[in-house]
Amino acid sequence: MKQITILSGKGGTGKTSITAALASLAKSVVFCDNDVDAADLHLLLHPKIEEKHTFKGAWVASIDPEKCTNCGICSENCRFDAIHFIDEQYAINAFQCEGCRLCERVCPVGAIQSEQSIKNHWFVSSTRFGKLVHAHMTPGEENSGKLVSVVRNKANSIANVEHSDYVINDGPPGIGCTVISSITGTDHVLMVIEPSLSGLHDAKRVIELVKSFNVDLSAIINKFDLNLELSQKIEDYLKEEKIPLLSKLPFNKKMVESMINGKTIVEYAPNSSISKEIKMVWEQLKR
C-alpha cells in the first residue's frame, strides 16, 4: 500500500477538486481528509457516516472560585500569561491556556482542575469511490496535528485490512503542524500550485518542508493559463529543484460546473480535455 498526500501551500488552488478527480479514477483506495480544521472533501464525495468518534483535544484549566484564596502563585508560574486577576478574582483565559497543567500542581489548595475538550469528532464513511476518513474540529480548538495523525492511522489500518493499493490524503494549507502530520510517513507528495505570487511563495515553503522529510515530490500547475509569466517562473523553479511537473492544467469552466453539481470533473465531463489530462496525471502518479 502506498500513501499519496496532496498539498498546495495556500488554499484555493483547486487541490480538493483535483483530489476528488483522482478519487474518481483510483481503484482500491482509502481517502483521508487531512484538512481537519476546514475539511471539504466531503462536499464532493458525499460520505455516508458509518462510525463517529470523539477526539479528545487539548487540556484546559479552570479555577474553582470557592476554593481559591487569591494567593496568585498560579499566575506567577503560568508561562503563557493565561491567568489574570479580574474583578478581585484569579481566572484563566481558556484561549490563552496551553494546557500544560503546571498551575494545577502549584496551587496550594487544589483549586485548579483541567479537562480535555471533547468538542471534536472524526468519522469513517463510505463514498461512491471507497472509504473516507475525515474529521470536524470546532473553531478555536487545539491539537489539530494530533487529529491528523488519528485520521491517517485509521485510513492506513482500513487500507491494510481491505488490502487497498493506495491511501490518498487531501492535505491542509500552510506549513503548520497539520501539514507536518500529513507529510510524516507518506510515500509521495503531489503539489498543486496556482500561478500567483502567494501560490508560488507558499508552495516553496511546503516544498522545503517536504524535502526536509526526504519524501518524493511531484507537482501540477493548476489554471496555468491565468498567468503565463508566473506559470513559467513556477516551471523554472520546479526544474531547478528537480521536481517532476506532471501537468499544466488550464482554467476550465467545466471544473466549476462540476463542483456546483457536486460531482468530480471526471464524473461530470469524462470526455473533456481536463478529465483526460487528470487521467494522465493519475497514470504518472501510479508509476
Distances 53 to 135, 184, 190 between C-alpha atoms, Å: 9, 23, 29
C-alpha cell at 7: 498539498
Q: Which residues lie across from 7 on neighbouring strands?
A: 191
Q: Cα(64)–Cα(110) distance, rounded to whole angstroms? A: 9
Q: Residue 108 carries which side chain, given as an amino acid letter? A: P
Q: Residue 178 carries which side chain, given as an amino acid letter? A: T
| Near ligand SF4 by CB under 6 A: residue from 2, 40, 56, 80 | 80
| Near ligand SF4 by CB under 6 A: residue from 58, 111, 183, 219 | 111
Report how many residues bind ligand SF4 under the rule CB under 6 A.
26
Alpha helices per DSSP H over the chain: 15-25, 41-45, 73-77, 102-106, 144-161, 177-183, 197-212, 228-240, 253-260, 265-268, 273-286
| Near ligand SF4 by CB under 6 A: residue from 6, 29, 44, 112 | 112
- List binders of ligand SF4 among 47-66 (CB under 6 A): 61, 63
68 binds ligand SF4 (CB under 6 A): yes
Report, in Å, the least distance between residue 114 CB and ligand SF4: 6
The piece of 36-44, 70-78, 180-188, 245-253 that touches ligand SF4 (CB under 6 A) is 70-78
Q: Cα(193)–Cα(26) distance, rounded to whole angstroms? A: 22
- Pairing mode, if any, of strands 216-222 and 59-63? unpaired
Distance in angstroms between the alpha carbons of the first and the last residue of the chain:
13
CB-wise, 79 or 163, nearer to ligand SF4?
79
- Secondary structure of residue 252 in the 3-state scheme: coil
Q: Cα(230)–Cα(227) distance, rounded to whole angstroms? A: 6
266 binds ligand SF4 (CB under 6 A): no
CB-wise, 107 or 193, nearer to ligand SF4?
107
| Near ligand SF4 by CB under 6 A: residue from 38, 43, 109, 256 | 109
Q: Which residues lie across from 166 on neighbouring strands?
A: 2, 29
CB-wise, 141 or 267, nearer to ligand SF4?
141
Report, in Å, the least distance between residue 145 CB and ligand SF4: 18
- List binders of ligand SF4 among 82-101 (CB under 6 A): 82-83, 90, 92, 97-101
Report, in Å, the least distance between residue 88 CB and ligand SF4: 12
Distances 188 to 34, 55, 254, 282 between C-alpha atoms, Å: 15, 27, 28, 13
103 binds ligand SF4 (CB under 6 A): yes
Q: Which residues contribute to the site for ligand SF4 (CB under 6 A)?
A: 61, 63, 68-74, 78, 80, 82-83, 90, 92, 97-103, 107, 109, 111-112
